[in-house]
Amino acid sequence: MPNASVLEQKKQQVAEIVEKLSAAVTGVVVDYKGTTVADDTALRKELREAGVDYFVVKNTILGRAIEGTDLEEMKSVLEGTTAIALSNEDYTAAARILCKFAESHENFKVKSGFLDGKVVDVATLESLAKLPTKEVLLATVCSAFQAPIAAFARAVQAIVDKDGSADAE
């Protein structure tokens, strides 16, 4: 039987994870077995730069944190080595980075994830990973809005140029 201080420490860990999960818009659970220190360091750096919180967690602690929530169905994947990546703002960053990493590292596996508090399967995470970044999407939308205005401006300029050259003759 664990002593009181160990139990209190574990309760605190569960509470911290519950808080992080509730603040996150998306999360990805992975099996990091076989990842080298160098690869893990590079992965953590990339995730940190994208604003993603990535940490290793004990299966029992994560299991307790998701108990009684909409994320409880993720319990079935909580075996082996487990790490979780949480993003509070960007819906695609964690999935994009971790799925790309999993493609090039055969032991690294994406187990499950969630989106807006609902559990999603690996296929959904892979689809999410293929979406462009928020900045690329915004640039595309701006370009789409700008194109008709630019075409109109060129047409008006052509009329002005045509009328101006007719007056000169």
How crowded is the C-beta side of 137, counted as CA atoms within 13 Å?
Answer: 8
Angle between helices 93-104 and 37-49 (to 10 degrees): 160
Mean pLDDT of 120-129: 82
* pLDDT, tens only, 37-72: 999 999 999 999 989 999 999 999 998 888 888 888
Query: Which tops the pLDDT comparison, 3 or 95?
Result: 95
Q: For the chain, which residues make up each domain, given as ranges?
A: 4-131, 132-169
* pLDDT, tens only, 143-169: 777 777 777 778 788 888 887 654 544
CA distance 169 to 147: 34
* pLDDT, tens only, 100-119: 998 888 888 999 889 888 88
CATH T-level fold of 4-131: Alpha-Beta Plaits (3.30.70)
Q: What is the pTM of this model?
A: 0.73
